[in-house]
Every structure is written in C-alpha cells, then in structure tokens.
Structure 1
C-alpha cells in the first residue's frame, strides 16, 4: 500500500468513518491548513491528541472531508468535517506555522452489517441520545441506525471515555467488541 501525505488536525476528540463534527478554526495556522486542504494541496486527517508523543497524537486517525463551513459571530471559522477512511499516522513533521503534516497509511474501515436483535437497544439508545442532543443530530442528513458499524462508531465518538480506551476498540477488526461494550454499559445503567 502507498503512503499518503496529509494535513494533520489534532483535536481532543475522536472522529471515525461516517461521523461528523463541527470544529472551530481560530489560529492562523488552522485557517491556512483549511485553505490548503480546500485548494487540494493536502488531504485532511483528524487525530486525537496525545501528550508526550511525536507527533502529539495517537497513530490511529481518520481521513476526513470538509463538507461545510461558515463564519461565526466572533469572526472565527466553523468547519464541518465528515470521517471517510481510517489511517495510521506513520510519521509527522511540524511546519514553521506550527501546523502538522503526516505520512499516513490507509487502514481497513469496519464493514457495514445489520444490527443483531440483541443489540437493537444500542441503536434505540443512540436515537434517544440524538433527540436529547439535537445539535449533533443536525450534522447528519441521514442516520444509519440499522448499521452496527455506524452505530458503534457514533457511540465511540460521544462516550465520555479516555481517547486511549476508545482507540483500543477502534483498532479492532470489526465493531463486535464495541457493540458488546456499549451493550454492557447500557445494561449496567438500566440495572442500577
């Protein structure tokens, strides 16, 4: 497989294929990075920050596409990114403007699969979560609550967990361990 050079956006959050996030770009280097991505100079990868690391992120990242943007009242730029492809960050370099460029290698995304009956509660709970958090739901033109990979990845994006723990699940070959984890988590809250 061929490696790909990408602009690396390092955030405190995890974004996975099929997921969407709205991000605020404030610093000049972030704005320059967005401009270079939109001009086609680089593809964009989003990675979760990790201290004491070079580059300062986890090696599992997600190639994403800027699907929308607008100027906020404080004149900063808001972009909406959508995760496309998991990638592994092999190396990185920090440019003079403090932005990061990374050499990446594509990884296999989780395959789409229907939700088994025993896991339908996970899908229903995610639907309820979006009803309570309409700002997140508004990012999606459509949801895929019937797809186990899509549902489990959305849970990993929103659960209040350490990124290192989320990425242990992300690095699995499929969504099954994540589905089991979320099911146990939901059952533990129902049983209390």
Structure 2
C-alpha cells in the first residue's frame, strides 16, 4: 500500500512544491517514506472522498522552518490512478495505485505549431518572472518542452478540482495545450 497525502495542491510530473508538515500522521508519512526511500501520492480530496487520480511524488529536500515546523520540498514523479483506499489507525490514508504513462514530450520540433508552442512557453516565462518565489523551485526550467510547460500551467491555473482531475486523466498534453492556447489568445484580445 502506498501512502497518500490529501491536499488541495495539484502537482504533475516534473512539478515541485514546498509543504509544511505538522500533523503527527504526516510526520510519520515523511519519516517512513524517507527511511524506505519511497514516494507518496499527492491526492486531491472532495469532502471525505479522495479523487481517483494523483501524482506520485518524491521528497527531495528537508528544512526546519522559522516557526520550528518541518518543511519538505516534493517533486512530481508519475501520474497514478488510485485503485482503492483505506485509513490506518492514525487516519493516514493509504491505497493501491496504478502507474500511468508519462505524457509524451514534444520539444518544439514541428514548425507549424512552433508559434503556438513558443507563446505557451513565453507566457509561462512571464509568470515565473512575476513570481520569483515560485520560479526558484526550478533550477533548470524546461520551457522548450511543451509538455513540461503545459504541466506547469495546469498547476498554477485556478481550475476546479473536477477540471484538474480531467486533465490529469488524459493520455497526453494535447488537451492542455489547446486549453492554454485559448486562454492566452483571449488575454491578447
């Protein structure tokens, strides 16, 4: 069984985020995942129900925060489908998961789509420039990779949980690319 961490945070493979850990069950999750060199699934929750899709993440850094709490940095590794769930005695969620294939990566090879792809990357660069605290999590951003750029857009856009679940269930970044392109076109108009 894989440990699950329900949060309203949406993260896809290649994404990074910082978390503050203070509840005993999640301190246990961090301790056990670190000791066993295993990741955990970042899962979204609606009420008392976990959504079906999440992202397997790895803990890539630790720190003691100014308030004395534990801070961790996580990095998205792989999209997963949550097959079944249960709660342990301390209310920590665990579940059986199925790994999903990564979205194919497109490195701006197709000249016909190059303008659209460059617009998506340029827009994301502008967001990163406006939010350096977010951008600093990425030592080497892959703006030239359309899939990477689309994944970062989906993480920061104010989408509903249902929309996020729909996107994470897709087999490629194609739907995300079209959605983000339309948003960027509307902003220009």
TM range (shorter): over 0.9
Query: Which of 166, 175, 182 is equivalent to 2:180?
Result: 182
Q: In structure 2, how many angstroms separate the alpha carbons of the residues matched to 1:43 and 1:52?
A: 23
Q: In structure 2, how many angstroms separate the alpha carbons of the residues matched to 1:101 and 1:8?
A: 5
Q: Please, which runs of 5 or more residues in structure 1 have no aligned partner?
A: none
How far did 1:41 drift? Answer: 7.2
Q: Where do 1:79-158 residues align within 5 Å?
A: 79-115=72-108, 116-117=113-114, 118-158=116-156
TM-score by length of 2: 0.93
Find the counterpart in structure 2 of residue 30 from structure 1: 26
Q: Secondary structure at the match of 1:59?
A: strand
Query: Which of 13, 18, 27 is equivalent to 1:17?
Result: 13
Q: Please, which runs of 5 or more residues in structure 2 have no aligned partner?
A: none
Query: Which of 69, 77, 81 is equivalent to 2:70?
Result: 77
Question: Do the aligned residues in 2 keep the contact of 1:16 with 1:62 (CA within 8 Å)?
Answer: yes
Runs (4+) off by over 3 Å: none
Q: In structure 1, how many angstroms separate the alpha carbons of the residues matched to 2:78 and 2:52?
A: 14
Aligned-residue Cα RMSD (Å) equals 1.3
Alignment length, in residue pairs?
A: 184
After superposition, what is the alpha-carbon deviation per residue over 1:68-94, rounded to whole angstroms, capped at 9, x for unaligned?
010111111111000011111011111
How far did 1:43 drift? Answer: 3.1
Q: Secondary structure at the match of 2:143?
A: coil
Query: Which of 42, 46, 49 is equivalent to 2:45?
Result: 49
